[in-house]
Chains A and B, each alone.
Chain A
């Protein structure tokens, strides 16, 4: 537990870091644009390089905003799942949300191509893909909610989520097997995740959805704290478990489902970031942990995005590889550190 002054210092550092990385993410890229030019384009509209305006508004700014909100969403939904399931390795996708989304996308991309000739593989950033992914994760959410109303033991829900996920992955595999090469590649590229495919008009959907999910999550702080000690204690203190589960699952699906729909399944952020927040803030209290996780989530995904675009080079790496390479060492470290403890949340 940190004292008040420490805590304020950490909040200030994290906020500055987040702002700096956000600016850096806009500046860096295959074309270097100076801070002054960025300022000119965005605020005075008086620039010597009209093409910068296009780059900034069409690509850099949407991408940075996507990274910011996707980071918020994935890490907060991961924290919620770790608390509800009292499991350190739970993440936003344990309910099978990303599997549901990929089933939706796979059905669209590959299923459709079996019947019609799709000439253009404009998969990423395509509204139909977003809708398909959303429908897929919504279907899984619906199944989970239907099942969770009947089940008393939260662990059964965790197992069912994993089973749903595996079953949908199996269906996706079948679809992959029967699809043609170009469709297969389009789908594989989608699964690698991308922050760059979200247009400004799509941000009008992504950002409000994430904000609603985050608001629900912040309203659940008291509930999440009670769930730390397990559902039995939470119930004995007067918590309506069923209703709480519905709200938590809904907010998790909204957060993780939306991000997956627009950016593909981005792994590891959701599992790793809540643990970083616990290490930084040394608390289990969601009043601090939730906003802390959110900030660090934004920081980590912005950082991953900066690394993935390999500043100074033409090429960019898939974001999923970067988050995995950043996230895996953290997850391994957690496992080793927690060998002595039976349950962590």
Chain B
């Protein structure tokens, strides 16, 4: 797709919320971003920086103070309510808990902008809703009540509702917030495949950076003073990620693609060993604020080796206890 064919263009946007009449609390200024067809975009930034506000602006639920958002090169006002609702759909952070609401009824609500004023579901609306449930793998749940299913299942149903709405763009505010780890990965992966197979532009905010790095085509990174966009790999390679939590105790590990606590190392220790035993022993030692030096035998050091099919951690030079059968015992001794 050509760069000129941006489905979404955000130009010099200033966002925030109205505190009182004529008094605005500006959260972020000078936002310039783009979104293309078939693209999964992850919006990343720390709490309170304005991610939700930006998403609500894009979804047309809130007005910006300045600047403009162009959808297919036209501002929102050009579109009627119905047209706009057929262009972009939204999933909020709110956990929906309506009793007696069937999964199918919830998903078919997505047909709202496509049905007549009585809301009558035609053949096409029903098949489109069922197809949407199929796409998120929830076809067997259509007759269940929405408050009887798990959080991960409910999130899938909410995504199915946007698919029934059949929009070119989908905006989701922290879709992975309440989910366990496998569900987090599955939901973002689902969004990725929807963006590719259905050629949709999907924008979601998240705090799960490593998942975003793996699945998103583009990251919108909200830093304290500016917002940067780019492929996750580009942002890693040019050190941009390190600026997210600039004043915190986190460091971005370029090789692992994840954040680590910055540690103040107090004491040096040598470590000799191989493979995963070396790696995890090193992690444990770092947690105890040791600065680990690989293979250094000239200072106090630890040797990990296997003896008679039993792994042994040996502390050298000998102290009153120097052989350990697991890392926990070793760390207990080192702490005492």
Residues of chain A touching chain B, judged by Cβ–Cβ distance below 8 Å, are 1, 86, 219, 221-222, 225-226, 228-230, 232-233, 235-240, 278, 282-285, 287, 338, 341-345
User: For the complex, would chain A's binding face be called helix, strand, loop or mixed by DSSP majority?
Assistant: loop
Complex interface residues of chain B between 78 and 95 (CB less than 8 A to chain A): 81-82, 84-86, 88-90, 92, 94
In the complex, what residues of B have CB within 8 A of residue A343's CB? 97-98
Task: Tell me the bound Cα distance from A343 to B99 in angstroms.
Answer: 8
In the complex, what residues of B have CB within 8 A of residue A240's CB? 81
User: Are A232 and B109 CB-contacts (below 8 A) given A278-B99, A278-B100, A344-B98?
Assistant: no
Check A225 against B119 for contact (C-beta < 8 Å).
yes
Closest to A235 in B: B61
B292 to chain A, nearest CB (A): 48
Check B105 against A284 for contact (C-beta < 8 Å).
yes
Check B112 against A226 for contact (C-beta < 8 Å).
yes
Interface CB pairs A-B, < 8 A, 17: A221-B119, A222-B112, A225-B119, A226-B112, A229-B96, A229-B106, A236-B61, A237-B89, A237-B112, A237-B113, A238-B81, A238-B82, A238-B85, A238-B112, A239-B112, A283-B102, A284-B101
Check B60 against A283 for contact (C-beta < 8 Å).
no
Check A222 against B100 for contact (C-beta < 8 Å).
no
In the complex, what residues of A have CB within 8 A of residue B101's CB? 228, 283-285
Check B98 against A222 for contact (C-beta < 8 Å).
no
Task: Tell me the bound Cα distance from A282 to B99 in angstroms.
Answer: 9
In the complex, what residues of A have CB within 8 A of residue B84's CB? 238
Closest to B99 in A: A344
In the complex, what residues of B have CB within 8 A of residue A226's CB? 109, 112
Complex interface residues of chain B between 46 and 62 (CB less than 8 A to chain A): 59-61
Check B97 against A222 for contact (C-beta < 8 Å).
no
Check B143 against A1 for contact (C-beta < 8 Å).
yes
Check B118 against A221 for contact (C-beta < 8 Å).
yes
A225-B105, A232-B90 given; 5 more Cβ-contact pairs under 8 Å: A222-B118, A228-B109, A233-B109, A283-B101, A285-B101
Closest to A281 in B: B100
User: Are A282 and B100 CB-contacts (below 8 A) given A222-B118, A222-B119, A229-B106?
Assistant: yes
In the complex, what residues of A have CB within 8 A of residue B89's CB? 236-237
A112 to chain B, nearest CB (A): 41
Chain B residues within 8 Å of chain A by Cβ, number: 33
In the complex, what residues of B have CB within 8 A of residue A283's CB? 100-102, 105
User: Are A236 and B100 CB-contacts (below 8 A) given A1-B143, A222-B119?
Assistant: no
Closest to B96 in A: A229
Task: Tell me the bound Cα distance from A182 to B82 in angstroms.
Answer: 59
Closest to B117 in A: A222
B29 within 8 Å of A by Cβ?
Answer: no
B126-143 CB contact bits vs A (8 Å, 1 = yes)? Answer: 000000000000000001
B88 to chain A, nearest CB (A): 8
In the complex, what residues of B have CB within 8 A of residue A221's CB? 118-119
A226 to chain B, nearest CB (A): 6
In the complex, what residues of B have CB within 8 A of residue A228's CB? 98, 101, 109
In the complex, what residues of A have CB within 8 A of residue B289's CB? none
Closest to A88 in B: B99
A340 to chain B, nearest CB (A): 9
B37 within 8 Å of A by Cβ?
Answer: no
B155 within 8 Å of A by Cβ?
Answer: no
Check B99 against A284 for contact (C-beta < 8 Å).
yes
B110 within 8 Å of A by Cβ?
Answer: yes
Closest to A218 in B: B118
Task: Tell me the bound Cα distance from A342 to B85 in angstroms.
Answer: 29
Task: Tell me the bound Cα distance from A230 to B84 in angstroms.
Answer: 19
B165 within 8 Å of A by Cβ?
Answer: yes
Check B109 against A229 for contact (C-beta < 8 Å).
yes
Closest to A337 in B: B99
Check B97 against A342 for contact (C-beta < 8 Å).
yes
Task: Tell me the bound Cα distance from A236 to B106 in angstroms.
Answer: 14
Closest to A236 in B: B90
Task: Tell me the bound Cα distance from A175 to B69 in angstroms.
Answer: 57
A1, A338, A342 — most chain B CB neighbours (10 Å)? A1
Complex interface residues of chain B between 210 and 233 (CB less than 8 A to chain A): none
Task: Tell me the bound Cα distance from A219 to B119 in angstroms.
Answer: 10
B331 within 8 Å of A by Cβ?
Answer: no
B113 to chain A, nearest CB (A): 4
In the complex, what residues of A have CB within 8 A of residue B147's CB? 341
Check A284 against B85 for contact (C-beta < 8 Å).
no
Task: Tell me the bound Cα distance from A301 to B78 in angstroms.
Answer: 50
In the complex, what residues of B have CB within 8 A of residue A287's CB? 119
B296 within 8 Å of A by Cβ?
Answer: no
In the complex, what residues of B have CB within 8 A of residue A86's CB? 98
